[in-house]
Amino acid sequence: MNLTMNQLLKKQMLAAIKLKTDTDFQEFVDFLYSQAHGSLFTSLKQKIDKGGDGILNGDTILAAYAPEKYSLANFRTKINSDYKKYKANWKSTHKKWMVLTNCELLTNMVMHIESKHSGAEKLGVVEIVTKIEALPWSKIKRIG
C-alpha cells in the first residue's frame, strides 16, 4: 500500500519550512538531503563553505537562501555572492548548481538564477515538499 501525504500534512510542512530561516533552514536541508540521498549527499559546514552548502552526487553544489522576509534586492545580493563563490571554488569540478529557498519561487527569482547559471536546479518550498512527498513513508515521518 502506497501512503502519500494528505493535504493537511502538506500544508503543515509548507508552513514549517517557511519558518526555517538562516542556519535552521540549512540544518533542515542537510537532514532532508541526508535522508533522501544518503551517502550521495555531503554537508558543508557554515562559514567555511566557500559558496556551497552541500554536495549532491559528487557534481552538484547546493546554495541555500532562507530569509525571514523575502525581498528581491536581498535575494539577488545573496545569489550573486553565492554564485561568485561557487564559480571561484567549485564550478571547475562540480558543474551543476542548485538553489534552495524557504519561500515560493517567483518568476524574477527563477530568471535571476538562470542569468547566473543556465539550467541550475531551483527548489522553492513547494518543490521541497514535493521532494519529501516522493520519499518512502518511513522517511517522510522522520523528516516531519
Residue 1 lies in a domain: no
How many angstroms separate the CA atoms of 39 and 66, rounded? 25
Q: Do residues 99 and 63 touch, judged by C-beta distance below 8 A?
A: yes
- Whichever domain contains 61, its CATH number is 3.40.50
pLDDT of residue 130: 94
pLDDT of residue 4: 56
pTM greater than 0.75 (yes/no): yes
Please give the residue range of the domain that contains residue 16: 7-143
The domain total for the chain is 1
Residue 2 lies in a domain: no
β strands within the chain, DSSP E: 41-43, 54-56, 60-65, 96-101, 121-123
Residue 44 lies in a domain: yes
Q: Kindly state the helix (H) or strand (E) to which residue 137 belongs, with its residue range.
A: helix 137-143
pLDDT at residue 6 is higher than 50:
yes
- pLDDT tens-place string over residues 50-95: 889 999 999 999 999 999 999 999 999 999 999 999 999 999 999 9
How many angstroms separate the CA atoms of 15 and 103, rounded? 10
pLDDT at residue 2 is higher than 50:
no
Q: Kindly state the helix (H) or strand (E) to which residue 30 belongs, with its residue range.
A: helix 22-37
Q: Kindly state the helix (H) or strand (E) to which residue 129 belongs, with its residue range.
A: helix 125-133
